[in-house]
């Protein structure tokens, strides 16, 4: 029988810190660029269109010696049953022996790696001295995006919060965000005084809920969109020179958050070209002929490795389209397994 580590939702929250997750996601982007990792075809099944579906994403990471899969189900009516609509489960295997090594709840990992992804886009594409950040979307993902962004961008002073549906949600997030950041992302580093103090300083910015998106876009140097939107919210003429936009929300065909015309004059980078053009923010821009696949300047891993150039000038508008790849989940799952071992937490079962 095999010893398999089980990391459930609660344990994973104790296990992972955003700083390390950002490092892991950067690492996995470069592994992908170096072809030391690969994703296998995705399985997708709709049990009932618009009501329930599931997908299985899988792949391997040569350097980390693991392979595995994440199964995510979405049951839109689960709320009625007091269950979360989105449920994720990850299985990790040792690539040297094929032995199962970990079973993990995927929800928190997905939140963490998605937050990291949006921030990494800004880290490598935004103007370094950017002081203003606009968060579009105030749902589950917003605190993850904000925490990661404040960790990688050192000059942010002002964070604007915009909700496309309900201004009250933005107001509420404005009230709670400092506590949320403390509880979800800072407290993890309590025992590491140096990191804790440095991050606390980074998180000490002003937050403001905003009602006028046009105005907020014009004033912001970095923008992250993380909504389930299916129509453009941010129009091209609003975007100031020098802005960076990380598009996080679009992860299936038909989703769109920003005016596709923004792509015509922006420098566009993605996490995975194939996914971006099929299910990412880039999909509509390509389908409508605003840009062609060849206009995508490259994948983020190439950028991190320095194989391609990102921003050329302070005035460039840059876009990072992240659809989320299974390798991020695997890499962060491996990080969680390693950290859990180190900390001696998590249950071990015999399979």
Active-site positions?
Answer: 70
Asked if 75 touches its own copies (CB under 8 A), the answer is: yes
Phi, psi of 225, deg, nearest 5: -110, 125
Q: Do 329 and 113 touch, CB atoms closer than 8 A? A: yes
Residue 274 makes contact with its own copies by CB under 8 A:
no
From the list 64, 103, 213, 245, which residue makes contact with its own copies (rule: CB under 8 A)?
103
For residues 263 and 291, is the Cβ–Cβ distance under 8 A? Answer: yes
Torsions phi, psi for 128 (to 5 deg): -55, -35
Q: Is 232 in the site for its own copies (CB under 8 A)?
A: no
Q: Which segment (52-60, 110-118, 246-254, 337-345) binds its own copies by CB under 8 A?
A: 52-60
Q: Which is nearer to its own copies, 58 or 130 (CB)?
A: 58
Identify which of residues 91 and 303 has a Cβ nearer to its own copies in the complex: 91
Kindly determine how many residues on this chain lie close enough to bind its own copies according to the rule CB under 8 A. Answer: 40
- Distance, CA of 1 to chain centre: 36
Asked if 349 interacts with its own copies (CB under 8 A), we say yes
Q: Does 6 bind its own copies (CB under 8 A)?
A: yes
Closest to its own copies by CB, 99 vs 165, is 99
**What residues from 7 to 26 belong to the interface with its own copies (CB under 8 A)?**
8-10
Q: Of 319, 148, 103, 340, give the one whose Cα is nearest residue 159.
A: 148
Cα dihedral 204, 194, 331, 123 sign: positive
Binding test (CB under 8 A) with its own copies, winner from 66, 69, 112, 216: 69
Residue closer to its own copies, measured from CB, 71 or 235: 71
Q: Which of 26, 31, 61, 105 binds its own copies (CB under 8 A)?
A: 105
- Residue closer to its own copies, measured from CB, 165 or 351: 351
By the rule CB under 8 A, 252 interacts with its own copies: no
Q: Taking the complex as a whole, how short is the minimal distance between the CB of residue 80 and its own copies, in angstroms?
A: 10
Cβ 105 vs Cβ 9: under 8 Å:
yes
Residue 82 Cβ vs its own copies, minimum distance, rounded to whole Å: 10
Work out how close the CB of 9 gets to its own copies at its nearest, in angstroms, rounded to a whole number. 5
Contact indicator for 338, 310 with CB cutoff of 8 Å? no
111 in contact with its own copies (CB under 8 A): no
Helices (H), the chain: 9-15, 18-33, 107-125, 142-152, 167-181, 193-202, 213-219, 262-265, 273-279, 282-287, 300-305, 326-343
List Cβ neighbours of 239 (8 Å cut-off, separation of 6 or more): 217, 245, 262, 317
Least Å distance, CB 276 to its own copies, is 22
Q: Which residues pair with 247 in a beta bridge?
A: 225, 321
User: SS3 for 95-157, per residue?
Assistant: CCCCCEEEEEECHHHHHHHHHHHHHHHHHHHCCCCCCEEEEECCCCCHHHHHHHHHHHCCCCC
Judged by the rule CB under 8 A, the positions of this chain that interact with its own copies are: 1-2, 6, 8-10, 40-41, 43, 45, 47, 52, 54, 56, 58, 60, 67, 69, 71, 73-75, 78, 81, 83, 87, 89, 91, 93, 95, 97-100, 103, 105, 347, 349-351
């Amino acid at each position: 029988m095999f010893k398999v580590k089980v990391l459930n939702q609660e344990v994973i929250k104790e296990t992972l810190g955003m700083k390390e997750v950002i490092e892991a996601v950067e690492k996995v982007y470069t592994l992908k660029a170096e072809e030391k990792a690969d994703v296998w075809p995705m399985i997708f099944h709709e049990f009932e269109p618009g009501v329930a579906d599931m997908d299985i994403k899988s792949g391997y990471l040569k350097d980390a010696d693991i392979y595995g899969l994440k199964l995510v189900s979405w049951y839109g009516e689960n709320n009625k049953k007091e269950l979360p609509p989105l449920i994720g489960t990850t299985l990790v295997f040792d690539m040297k022996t094929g032995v199962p090594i970990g079973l993990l709840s995927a929800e928190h990992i997905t939140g963490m790696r998605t937050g990291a992804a949006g921030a990494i886009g800004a880290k490598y594409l935004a103007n370094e001295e950017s002081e203003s950040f606009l968060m579009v979307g105030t749902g589950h993902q917003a605190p993850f995006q904000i925490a990661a962004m404040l960790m990688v961008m050192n000059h942010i002073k002002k964070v604007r919060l915009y909700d496309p549906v309900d201004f009250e949600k933005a107001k509420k997030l404005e009230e709670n965000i400092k506590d949320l950041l403390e509880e979800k992302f800072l407290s993890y580093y309590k025992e590491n005084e140096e990191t804790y103090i440095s991050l606390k300083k980074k998180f000490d910015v002003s937050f403001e809920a905003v009602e006028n998106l046009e105005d907020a876009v014009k004033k912001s140097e970095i923008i992250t969109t993380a909504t389930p939107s299916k129509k453009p919210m941010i129009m091209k003429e609003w975007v100031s020179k020098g802005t960076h936009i990380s598009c996080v929300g679009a992860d299936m065909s038909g989703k769109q958050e920003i005016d596709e015309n923004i792509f015509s004059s922006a420098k566009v980078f993605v996490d995975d070209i194939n996914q971006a053009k099929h299910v990412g923010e880039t999909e509509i821009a390509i389908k409508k002929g605003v840009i062609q696949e060849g206009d995508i300047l490259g994948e983020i891993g190439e950028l991190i490795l320095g194989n391609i150039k990102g921003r050329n000038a302070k005035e460039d508008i840059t876009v990072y389209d992240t659809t989320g790849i299974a390798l991020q989940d695997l890499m962060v799952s491996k990080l969680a397994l390693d950290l859990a071992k180190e900390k001696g937490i998590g249950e071990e079962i015999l399979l």
